[in-house]
């Protein structure tokens, strides 16, 4: 390997961790501050980087958003694959999905659902960006459809959307009222309803 090649390899190794740190930081800020309220300067300041360093990795905030959504989607895919192994029964899968409300309940009460809040923000006047963001919800919807089919429901599409609507509504109302008790109560109602399917 030439000296020049080894320099390129070192630069590539240094580039990856910075890029990953940038995406992870942007992911957190887009959730806690909102996409439109988070600037490149916010992300750079949080990391102690210059804006130029950020632009080296991402030409625009929209490109950074795509990377954040890709990160979230990969995380969702891995989580759903784990759930498939842990919960072979359809109803158990539906109940596990409902429990997602309680996974990070303090954050949900403070900021809402990470996917739902981002989609609502983008749906207002950035529909072109929202299309990719909606793909995250589609991963869950398709997974829920399979679970609904597994329990013999012919209305699996409508039912999967209903379950998602209930969980998104619970997250929104809990955030609106800053009430973890409301979130827990809605989770219990959703699980009781799933049991009766």
Domain spans in the chain, listed from the N-terminal domain onward: 1-59, 71-197
pLDDT at 169 over 60: yes
Its CATH architecture, for the domain 71-197, is Orthogonal Bundle (1.10)
What is the pLDDT, as a whole number, of residue 128? 86
Phi, psi for 175 (deg, rounded to 5): -70, -40
- Where does 1-59 sit in CATH, by number? 1.10.10.60
**pLDDT winner (highest mean) among 12-16, 76-80, 119-123:** 76-80
pLDDT at 16 over 90: no
Cα of 143 vs its chain's centroid, Å: 15
pLDDT digits (tens, 9 = 90+) for 98-149: 999 999 999 999 999 999 999 999 998 898 888 889 999 999 999 999 999 9
Tokens describing residue 27: 């992911």
What is the mean pLDDT of the segment spanning 7-22? 59
What is the pLDDT, as a whole number, of residue 140? 97
| Model pTM score | 0.86
Cα of 195 vs its chain's centroid, Å: 26
| Alpha helices for 33-113 (secondary structure H) | 40-47, 51-57, 61-86, 90-98, 100-103, 105-111
Phi, psi for 36 (deg, rounded to 5): -70, -25
């Amino acid at each position: 390997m030439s000296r020049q090649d080894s320099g390129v390899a070192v630069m590539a190794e240094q580039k990856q961790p910075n890029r990953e740190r940038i995406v992870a930081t942007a992911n957190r800020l887009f959730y806690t501050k909102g996409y439109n309220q988070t600037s490149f300067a916010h992300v750079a300041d949080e990391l102690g980087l210059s804006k130029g360093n950020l632009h080296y990795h991402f030409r625009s905030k929209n490109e950074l958003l795509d990377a954040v959504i890709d990160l979230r989607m990969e995380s969702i895919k891995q989580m759903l694959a784990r759930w498939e192994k842990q919960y072979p029964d359809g109803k158990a899968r539906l109940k596990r999905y409902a429990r997602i409300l309680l996974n990070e309940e303090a954050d949900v009460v403070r900021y809402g659902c990470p996917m739902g809040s981002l989609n609502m923000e983008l749906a207002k006047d950035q529909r072109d960006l929202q299309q990719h963001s909606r793909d995250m919800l589609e991963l869950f919807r398709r997974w829920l459809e399979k679970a609904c089919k597994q329990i013999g429901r012919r209305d699996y599409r409508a039912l999967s959307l209903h379950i998602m609507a209930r969980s998104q509504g619970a997250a929104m109302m809990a955030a609106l009222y800053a009430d973890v008790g409301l979130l827990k109560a809605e989770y219990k109602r959703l699980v009781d309803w799933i049991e009766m399917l």
